[in-house]
Structure 1
């Protein structure tokens, strides 16, 4: 096993789930203690309707994963089987769940795809292109939601908060920071993938001559080389294949953003939100995911619960916000930790230990 492989395996050690779980539970418990109102949890009754809509919530997450799997099949030109893309997506989500949202990194995803039989250059190209498609969805949908829902309404934490000046709303500032990072990233990646990959590599190497980031210059050189490989792989793709890959991306993220809507319906019924309210909840989820980009905790743990409680809590009965946030994270986050713990040891035994 190479030093790089050993380093990657250390970074995805299942033991690392302890930290995000501990942070998430601690923040949930603290918010529950601070915000609890006697009798409020009695509103969360379980019925056939609850079971049905929670099942729909799980189906949405399955649809989200299917969209990711379909996209990997398209990008790999069907050289990856459905079983292989399932393992890759689950391990990819597990890795994202135990590393800070702000850190990210493509090396682990490239590692997973490469070990499933795709040559290294193509694996790198696939991961960079999935990142490009994800960011493109965010970049296009975020301003559209602001125009449709209204910026102040989308970022409000209460009906009265819409009167606040935009720079006094911390959620707007977090979202703008996250969106700016994504916009800069996708502009640089687009330039490197489709216009001048060698030029972008030279620019990266020039930037990383600065003393305070010079120690990361080797990684910048490696990333630039990967970008050149990715450009050679995909710049001659037909438009039809690009559309299919982007549609799979859109289906995946849209399914994820409808999740909270179905959880609210599960416990409070269809009438709690009007059509505009459901669209507002959908938009707020996208904003939460953008804000999580700047979270220093693994998988946004703790920050996500806090943002949900403060950002969506006023749309549902008082005192139930943190409980709903926990259910949301249980389905959309903790489930990947559990699945990853079961899949990872078998995957390592098959692809690393035997080799």
Structure 2
């Protein structure tokens, strides 16, 4: 069995095991009663929310490519987006997602250097939007994480926010170059080259962000709409369970908080951590005995279905040989 099939089978097994454990550990005597009242129209509403989010994702990518003086079609943008979902779930820490975006952008005719910059910009904008939301979430939702005060979380969030601004300012002024060289002075030549290449692409990404402020503001808004639509899956599912009086601001805030953490988790696509974090954050919001099922449904609609579509596009465009080469690296 080749590398691709081994990784694919492992992922499927991992998803099934995690889903089974999450559901088994959260069911109780109220599960069947609450599921019996579930309204199936909420599934269609959740799928529509995902589709709308993917539309904004494709739109922001096309606008980004236009800012870099290149051009891609909507269909090519769709391939980039779903390819990202596919390889992100197949690789630890979702590192393969960036590779997939780079390869699809190159296939669409975007030069490698610009493609690498665009991938970094997409990630930076998403993280920056979430970072901007975090202070508002922590001010509204007290005790979001048991055992950790909101004050501590606020300090961490503000430190990360100003850290991002410092990196942008330092890269633009040039003195961050000296810091990077000093921090990597004891690394091997190979590692230093990789770090310098990534840092060079990051500087180019920052330059692109500041190149066209008005156009980039539109891309930033589209980034936020993309994420909010994807996170709206959970409110849609809760409505289907008859939850009409929830604090929807807190629900969306906790989804933002959870997904912010998933950007830095080492497991493929955040598997395991996403489901566990969801159960922890929403145990008191979701009807009794259904929090695990809602967590699995959320992951299915938000990640696993786009993963399968990304598999189709990747095999269609590049074939299995490409996957074997990428997964072997």
Classify the TM-score, shorter chain: 0.7 to 0.9
Answer yes or no: is 1:187 the counterpart of 2:165: yes
Answer yes or no: is 1:281 the counterpart of 2:264: no
Moved more, 323-332 or 184-193: 184-193
SS in 1 for 2:83: helix
Q: Give the number of equivalent residue pairs.
A: 319
In structure 2, C-alpha distance between the alignment counterparts of 1:295 and 1:14, rounded to whole Å: 24
Moved more, 85-94 or 19-28: 19-28
Answer yes or no: is 1:116 the counterpart of 2:91: no
Specify every segment of 5 or more residues in structure 1 that has no aligned partner in the other structure, as ranges.
1-9, 157-163
CA 1:115/1:38 → structure 2, altered by over 3 Å: closer, same or farther?
A: same
In structure 2, C-alpha distance between the alignment counterparts of 1:256 and 1:109, rounded to whole Å: 19
Deviations 1:66-107 (A, max 9, x none): 111001111111711001000011101212222233757744
Moved more, 96-105 or 137-146: 96-105
SS in 2 for 1:151: coil
Q: TM-score, normalised by structure 1?
A: 0.79
Q: In structure 2, which of residues 74, 98, 114 is the aligned counterpart of residue 82 of structure 1?
A: 74
Answer yes or no: is 1:166 the counterpart of 2:142: no
Deviations 1:174-218 (A, max 9, x none): x987x589547633552366x23x54344323211235x775211
Moved more, 300-309 or 22-31: 22-31
Deviations 1:290-345 (A, max 9, x none): 22234221001111111111210221222111111111111011112211221111
SS in 2 for 1:34: helix
Q: Determine if contact 1:132/1:186 at 8 Å carries over to the other structure.
A: no
Answer yes or no: is 1:93 the counterpart of 2:74: no
In structure 2, C-alpha distance between the alignment counterparts of 1:296 and 1:352, rounded to whole Å: 24
User: 1:41-190 counterparts in 2 under 5 A?
Assistant: 41-45=32-36, 50-77=39-66, 79-101=71-93, 103=95, 106-147=98-139, 149-152=140-143, 154-156=144-146, 166=149, 179=157, 183=161, 186-187=164-165, 189-190=167-168
Q: In structure 2, which of residues 265, 283, 289 is the aligned counterpart of residue 295 of structure 1?
A: 265
CA 1:351/1:66 → structure 2, altered by over 3 Å: closer, same or farther?
A: farther
Specify every segment of 5 or more residues in structure 2 that has no aligned partner in the other structure, as ranges.
324-329
User: 1:336-355 counterparts in 2 under 5 A?
Assistant: 336-349=306-319
2:8 corresponds to = 17
In structure 2, C-alpha distance between the alignment counterparts of 1:280 and 1:233, rounded to whole Å: 34
SS in 1 for 2:269: coil
2:242 corresponds to = 269
In structure 1, C-alpha distance between the alignment counterparts of 2:15 and 2:30, rounded to whole Å: 24
